[in-house]
Structure 1
Amino acid sequence: MMARPPPDPQYILRGVGAAVNTLYFSCNRPDPPLLFSGSTKGAVHIWNLNTRRPEKVLEGHGGSSVIWVNTLSRETVLSQGRDMRVCLWPLSEGRGGEVCDSLYTGSVGFCQCSLLSRGPSSSLLAYASEQMEEVKVMELPSNVPVCSLKPDKKLGMVMCLKIWQPDAGEGPLLVAGYEDGSVLLWDVTQGRPLSSLSAHPEPVMCLDFDPGRQRGVSGSAENTIRSWALDGQQNLQQQESVELLNPGISQLQVRGDGKILAAAGWDHRIRVFGWKRLKPLAVLKCHTDMMLSVTFSDHADPTKRLMAAGSKDQRISIWSIYNQN
């Protein structure tokens, strides 16, 4: 039997007018499902996925590249720019408009923030600080500092990070990738590293972590995606890896159901893998330049889950792939 050909995108969103650095879905809401995109020209587009048009364009980073977008309790948009600020926008009638608050990070790098919701009125924001090897964690919306995480060894700049709350009930954990190729696991409550792993020979460009499987994945400028896991003693252990035909990964994301992994490649392609064993499932081609971002929707109905991918070619592709009950 011949393998089924890769699917085409459901549709393409155009009109950003710049490379698309970052994407974030917000679908489980009474309003229309939304997709947020951040561009290299400093704009955040809020896309209505029913009309497939932007409802609002937020510009508060002085033209500096937006590298991360998220929402806080569905009432506030967060955007991180290369102007060294995280801006907060009210997501109300008219979908926001003016910055209501901002946080100075001091970071000149490309490390994206990570957000952990702790309930309707409290979240933790992890971000790279002006000391480039340091990660700071702050409680929102109170802006109270929680901790500072700085390695004892010289690992270089922090490149990517992810914060999450373990099911066991202990304090939050955070994993960070560094310029020397290391991945470190941090105990946020105690502010100390628990374990480390030499994951890549080059800087760790991107990572994601699946708390359900206690397993993470990372990519770099090389042509290898590597997975790793936590054992019972909170030690990072190398697991499967997969070699790609072409080098360079901009972003990795594990879908919320823990079944598939998507990779945004420098070779203009989106690769999809089975998350359990990193089995290649599809190579998706529709863009004409480097892929910069990929994300999955948070839709409660598994048959309506979407994947979005953003490229340097200024377009956003929307896909429906491997959706099952």
Structure 2
Amino acid sequence: MGRAFGWRTSHPNTHTQRSGCGGRYGGHPGVRSGRTYRPCPLEELRQTGDRWTRGGPPRRSLRGLVHIWNLETRRPLAALDGHGGQCVTWLHTLPRGPQLLSQGRDLQLCVWDLAEGRSAVVDAMHLESVGFCRASVLAEGPQRWMLAVPGRGNDEVQILELPSKTLVSCLKPEAGARLGMPMCLQLWQAESSPRPLLLAGYEDGSLALWDVSMRKLCSRAACHSEPVMGLALDPRRARGVSGSAEKALAVWSLEGQQALQVRGTHELTNPGIADLKIRPDSKILATAGWDHRVRVFQWRTMRPLAVLAFHSATVHCVAFDATGLLAAGSGDQRISVWSLYPPT
């Protein structure tokens, strides 16, 4: 079987897809550097009768199905239904099996077995929060993972161990902090430290760094005046970026993996960022905009490279695969797949 992506949609028999149109600019299909352009993606996956929501590959939908697509044949392989028609808000693939995690508005986190064409839920756990904050996973060993999810309290984050589903800790700001709900989460572990850390973006626009093992708030920075809608971390450089409902990206660093420092902001043409992703080689940053645009930046300098004006509704999510392909999901019921500035 060829390379596959998972997309969250609704009706398993309503997919159409077509290849992107031709045309190249500077060696990159349908892109003009630094300019808004009506480009043509490498591939387009179209879903009718449903709307896409934010997330990273694999993708979710408002009606609760997860669709697995083969990007070489451009055909859907399977439709997974495990959330009773409720919106699926997050997906993550695990190397074991392979297996897939899905988080839904039905307060369930499902574990799917996808080996040898199977599509069975092999385990599930009840979650405490019905919000739209996506979970985050960190590998602790060949068969062990740490999971961060919104907790029962308004401002609480729970850390669990998988597959045992054991509650490891609850991370809750001090009384009176008034950070609001967690909006986005990212677990990570520096090579120089044995302890896992959690980055959390909150409703008040601040970003917080937690020491998971010590249950300690290490640092907090006021990055935005609006809720943090998405964040992306570059572990190699201990540097990251976040977006919100306002017209600016915030670039920040982690000094000694302990102190958050805002390094600057990058002004945008229009307000509203739904998602951000840094390519695995740490060279390219992509953002998903409320203005229907995907913006591409050189990550080291934040120099704008391209504005992809392909979609006709809010772009809710962007994601890179291991080879550098970029996928974008939009409320126009389409997913575009791009080959931009291929890794060398």
Q: Normalising to structure 2: TM-score of the pair?
A: 0.86
The 1:16–1:164 alpha-carbon spacing in structure 2 relative to 1, beyond 3 Å, is farther
Counterpart in 2 of 1:226?
A: 250
Amino acid at match of 1:41: R
Amino acid at match of 1:314: Q
Residue 278 (structure 1) aligned to one of 280, 291, 302? 302
Q: SS where residue 93 of structure 1 aligns?
A: helix
Amino acid at match of 2:236: G
CA distance in 1, matches of 2:60, 2:339: 22
Counterpart in 2 of 1:217?
A: 241
Counterpart in 2 of 1:151?
A: 173
Amino acid at match of 2:164: S
Counterpart in 1 of 2:51?
A: 19
Q: Does 1:238 align with 2:257?
A: no
Q: Does 1:262 align with 2:293?
A: no
Counterpart in 2 of 1:76?
A: 99
CA distance in 2, matches of 1:189, 1:183: 19
* Correspondence 1:153-192 to 2 at 5 A: 153-192=177-216
Q: SS where residue 130 of structure 1 aligns?
A: coil
Give 1:16 deviation, angstroms: 5.8
* Correspondence 1:82-121 to 2 at 5 A: 82-96=105-119, 98-121=120-143
Residue 202 (structure 1) aligned to one of 204, 223, 226? 226
The 1:57–1:47 alpha-carbon spacing in structure 2 relative to 1, beyond 3 Å, is same
Q: Normalising to structure 1: TM-score of the pair?
A: 0.91
Give 1:207 deviation, angstroms: 0.8
The 1:24–1:47 alpha-carbon spacing in structure 2 relative to 1, beyond 3 Å, is farther
Give 1:277 deviation, angstroms: 2.0
Give 1:118 deviation, angstroms: 2.0
Residue 42 (structure 1) aligned to one of 57, 64, 75? 64
CA distance in 1, matches of 2:225, 2:183: 14
Kept after mapping to 1: 8 A contact 2:150/2:182:
yes
Give the unaligned 5+ runs of structure 1. 26-35, 300-304
Amino acid at match of 2:215: G
- Alpha-carbon RMSD across the aligned residues, in angstroms, is 1.6
CA distance in 1, matches of 2:92, 2:201: 20
Q: Once the two structures are aligned, what percentage of the paired residues are identical?
A: 50
Give 1:145 deviation, angstroms: 1.4
CA distance in 2, matches of 1:208, 1:68: 16
Amino acid at match of 1:76: Q
CA distance in 2, matches of 1:259, 1:16: 34
- Matched residue pairs, number? 308
Amino acid at match of 2:218: L
